[in-house]
Amino acid sequence: MDLIFADGMESPPPEPTLPPFAVRVLSKCAYGPRPGDVAAFNALGGNDDARLDVWLNQQLNPDA
């Protein structure tokens, strides 16, 4: 059912909500987050770029 505003305009579709960045990374680059993985990922840096950089380095250089 389409909702119509009083001025005749249709309401815009709702914006999709994305899961948190950590969940998206762990879902795309691993087998999905396990308990504790999101908290561990979020503790790796001050922003998403830094966390992703550290996490990828850990995955590619596990002995470092």
Q: What's the pTM?
A: 0.74
What is the band of 8 on the pLDDT scale with cuts at 50, 70, 90? low
3-class state of residue 14 by DSSP: coil
pLDDT of residue 10: 78
What's the pLDDT score for residue 4? 58
How confident is the model over 15-63, as pLDDT tens digits?
Answer: 999 999 999 999 999 999 999 999 999 999 999 999 999 999 999 999 9
Phi and psi at 10, nearest 5°, equal: -75, 150
Question: For the chain, which residues make up each domain, given as ranges?
Answer: 21-60
